[in-house]
């Protein structure tokens, strides 16, 4: 088709939108692809809508090719199914809740496991009906705490979600693999530089899960990779715990005076001058830092939690959040500390010099005490003494205290060993584009989805759930391809593949522009013709902002039979012959 820029519903902006944090957001707004309607909620303008539809088409084709069938659920859903799986509560503030005129609770769907499970339960009853994979491309609602970066994290967004139904584990594994392969094809076709990483199952429950991350400096996710092929979202990294040490070798606990040391580094420095070690200097990694959190469960219950970890590591709050989900944690406030007068900030220890336990479910405070996996039995630590201005040395795990559990949420650092021994970890950032889960029988159990097996026995169906961020993909591709002049779309996703800029006032130029556009249209190319009465400078700048992959300039050179072809992505310019214009353009489009 041919569109005229003189009538296209678009206005490019010379200024960045005030709330734009990342280039894709800035350019999608400035190029007239989207407009903000409310925080995290966007209106699609004609150019943006075309890209969205092209992403949808890629996703739809690949889902159909792998054998999934498309359905479409409402976004407005009843409460009951989400009550049965407890997600009405677990989703917490992220769920958009509405009440109908009769006072019945409803919600705007954040994801549709419950609805798909019930639909299949409604219609299917035999192993002969399985395997089955269903998908939809549908608008989702999540009242995100931090909507950001335009389409990257919206409160209303388009997702492709699919669900597989199998009779047994082998079937689920096969459905999962077919989705995984379809996702590889989808993200390859979208032109994204992506990695597949081990992921946390999070609120979905279930077991195996992987994420597809677009590699992007502005991504919100951090992932790690090793030379030997280990790859995981940092949230999912489970470090390899060192082997326990013999308790008999551990030094006895001893009290040391540590006045006026505000930080771990301060304690370490003081110890090196006042109590130097024989084997090597004291280091931050010798200290045991005890951090207190107040955890709030989805039902509102609050409970304290203490975490002991090597003092040279910070708690990674995203890893903590992922590990505790759906509960939420916040560091202890002064008010929280007031309830525990026995705890002295800066000098907290799981145990006192006299052996009295301070932290732990069995201790006087009753505060659950969990430790980093590095705190294995037999390791001795320099930690607080529960006495102001004092520390203890030789506090030994398994002898002086026993933790109530392990919590692996310390920061993962560049160069840390991969858990599988495949070399040092390298950290990078990415945008989560897709997520695939083996749900297993969690939803089928809660919602009682059973079918008859070969022996006429009722068995619970096993499920997978698979998501692609369709609207997020528009932004992720923009993020990867844009430059300091504007957007730059790959041919497959561009709203128009060719942008013809007609310059000057000569009618022959405009006639030629439309003639070439007409010929391209016959070849199935979508063309945007800038037929406006504007200066060449304005037209070139708009062509660069809007980002069609091939730009054709029809102008003064036409008198000599010459046109200029520009490749948006590379900035390459070449003079072409007007008689071979269409062939040159098709070649530039890779056709």
Per CB under 6 A, residues contacting ligand ATP are 111, 142, 144, 153-154, 157, 159, 432-435, 467, 469, 471-472
Judged by beta carbon distances under 5 to 8 A according to partner kind, the member of Mg ion, ligand ATP, none in contact with residue 60 is none
Instruction: Tell me the closest approach of the beta carbon of residue 469 to ligand ATP, in angstroms.
Output: 2
Exposed, middle or buried, 561 (CB in 10 Å: 0-12/13-18/19+)? exposed
> What does the angle CA 214 – CA 215 – CA 216 come to, to the nearest 5 degrees?
105
DSSP state of 126: B
Taking the least distance from each CB to Mg ion, the nearer of 131 and 467 is 467
Instruction: Tell me the closest approach of the beta carbon of residue 434 to ligand ATP, in angstroms.
Output: 5
Judged by beta carbon distances under 5 to 8 A according to partner kind, the member of Mg ion, ligand ATP, none in contact with residue 465 is none
DSSP state of 400: T
Q: Is there a contact between 91 and 203 (Cβ–Cβ < 8 Å)? A: yes
Judged by beta carbon distances under 5 to 8 A according to partner kind, the member of Mg ion, ligand ATP, none in contact with residue 26 is none
Judged by beta carbon distances under 5 to 8 A according to partner kind, the member of Mg ion, ligand ATP, none in contact with residue 472 is ligand ATP
Residue nearest Mg ion, Cβ-based? 435
Instruction: Tell me the closest approach of the beta carbon of residue 232 to ligand ATP, in angstroms.
Output: 14
Taking the least distance from each CB to ligand ATP, the nearer of 40 and 490 is 40
Binding residue count for Mg ion, defined by CB under 5 A: 1
Instruction: Tell me the closest approach of the beta carbon of residue 136 to Mg ion, in angstroms.
Output: 17
Exposed, middle or buried, 524 (CB in 10 Å: 0-12/13-18/19+)? exposed
Judged by beta carbon distances under 5 to 8 A according to partner kind, the member of ligand ATP, Mg ion, none in contact with residue 153 is ligand ATP
Q: What residues pair up with 381 in beta bridges, in sequence order?
A: 395
Judged by beta carbon distances under 5 to 8 A according to partner kind, the member of Mg ion, ligand ATP, none in contact with residue 154 is ligand ATP
Taking the least distance from each CB to ligand ATP, the nearer of 115 and 520 is 115
Taking the least distance from each CB to ligand ATP, the nearer of 157 and 381 is 157
Phi/psi-derived region of residue 545, left when phi > 0, alpha when psi is between -120 and 50, beta in every other case: alpha
391 binds Mg ion (CB under 5 A): no
The secondary structure element, H or E, covering residue 420 is none
Taking the least distance from each CB to Mg ion, the nearer of 200 and 444 is 200
Largest CA distance in the chain: 97
Taking the least distance from each CB to ligand ATP, the nearer of 20 and 387 is 20
263-288 in b/e burial notation, b at 16+ Cβ within 10 A?
Answer: ebeebbebbeeeeeeeeeebbbebbb
Instruction: Tell me the closest approach of the beta carbon of residue 373 to Mg ion, in angstroms.
Output: 24
**Terminal CA-CA length for the chain:** 17
C-alpha span between 50 and 46 (Å, rounded) = 6
- Which tokens in the block code for residue 307? 């975490």
516 phi and psi, to 5 degrees? -65, -40
Instruction: Tell me the closest approach of the beta carbon of residue 212 to ligand ATP, in angstroms.
Output: 7
Instruction: Tell me the closest approach of the beta carbon of residue 159 to ligand ATP, in angstroms.
Output: 5
- 428-467 mask for Mg ion (x: CB under 5 A)? -------x--------------------------------
CA distances 557 to 502, 535, 562, Å, are 11, 16, 5
Instruction: Give the binding site for Mg ion (CB under 5 A).
Output: 435
């Amino acid at each position: 088709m041919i569109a005229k820029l003189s009538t296209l519903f678009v206005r490019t902006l010379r200024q960045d939108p005030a709330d734009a944090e990342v280039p894709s957001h800035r350019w999608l707004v400035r190029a007239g692809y989207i407009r903000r309607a409310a925080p995290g909620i966007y209106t699609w303008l004609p150019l943006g809508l075309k890209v969205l539809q092209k992403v949808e088409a890629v996703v739809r084709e690949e889902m159909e090719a792998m054998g999934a069938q498309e359905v479409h659920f409402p976004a407005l859903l009843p409460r009951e199914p989400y009550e049965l799986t407890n997600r009405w509560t677990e989703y917490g503030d992220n769920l958009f809740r509405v009440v109908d005129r009769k006072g019945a609770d409803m919600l705007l769907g954040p994801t549709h496991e419950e609805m798909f499970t019930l639909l299949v339960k409604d219609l299917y009853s035999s192993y002969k009906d399985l395997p089955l994979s269903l998908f939809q491309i549908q608008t989702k609602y999540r009242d995100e705490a931090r909507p950001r970066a335009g389409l990257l994290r919206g409160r209303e967004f388009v997702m492709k979600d699919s669900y597989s139904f199998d009779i047994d584990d082998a079937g689920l594994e096969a459905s999962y693999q077919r989705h995984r392969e379809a996702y590889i094809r989808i993200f390859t076709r979208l032109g994204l530089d992506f990695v597949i990483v081990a992921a946390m199952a999070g609120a979905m429950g279930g077991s195996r899960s992987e994420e597809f991350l677009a590699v992007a400096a502005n991504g919100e996710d951090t992932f790690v990779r090793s030379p030997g092929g280990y790859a995981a979202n940092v949230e999912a990294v489970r470090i390899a715990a060192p082997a326990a040490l013999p308790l008999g070798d551990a030094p006895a606990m001893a009290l040391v005076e540590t006045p006026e040391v505000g930080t771990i580094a301060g304690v370490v420095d003081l110890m090196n001058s006042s109590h130097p070690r024989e084997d090597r200097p004291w280091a931050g990694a010798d200290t045991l830092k005890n951090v207190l959190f107040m955890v709030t469960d989805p039902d509102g219950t609050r409970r304290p939690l203490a975490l002991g970890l090597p003092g040279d590591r910070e708690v990674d709050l995203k890893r903590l959040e992922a590990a505790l989900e759906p509960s939420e944690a916040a560091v202890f406030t002064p008010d929280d500390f007031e309830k525990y007068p026995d705890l002295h900030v800066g000098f907290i220890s799981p145990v006192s010099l006299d052996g009295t336990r301070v932290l732990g479910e069995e201790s006087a405070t009753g505060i659950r005490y969990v430790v980093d996996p590095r705190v294995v039995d037999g390791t001795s630590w320099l930690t607080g003494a529960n006495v102001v201005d004092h520390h203890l040395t030789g506090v030994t795990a398994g002898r002086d205290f026993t933790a109530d559990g392990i919590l692996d949420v310390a920061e993962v650092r560049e160069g840390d060993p991969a858990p599988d021994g495949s070399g040092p970890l390298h950290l990078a950032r990415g945008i989560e584009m897709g997520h695939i889960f083996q749900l297993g029988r969690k939803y089928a159990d809660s919602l009682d989805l059973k079918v008859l097996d070969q022996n006429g026995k009722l068995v619970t169906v096993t499920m997978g759930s698979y998501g692609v961020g369709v609207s997020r993909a528009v932004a992720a591709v923009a993020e990867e391809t844009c430059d300091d002049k504007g957007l730059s779309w790959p041919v497959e996703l561009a709203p128009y593949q060719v942008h013809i800029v007609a310059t000057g006032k000569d009618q022959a130029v405009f006639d030629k522009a439309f003639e070439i556009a007409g010929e391209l249209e016959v070849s199935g190319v979508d063309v945007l013709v800038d037929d406006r009465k504007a200066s060449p400078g304005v037209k070139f700048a708009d062509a660069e902002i809007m980002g069609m992959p091939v730009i054709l300039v029809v102008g003064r050179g036409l008198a000599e039979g010459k046109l200029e072809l520009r490749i948006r992505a590379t900035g390459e310019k070449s003079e072409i012959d007007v008689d071979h214009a269409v062939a040159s353009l098709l070649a530039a489009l890779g056709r």
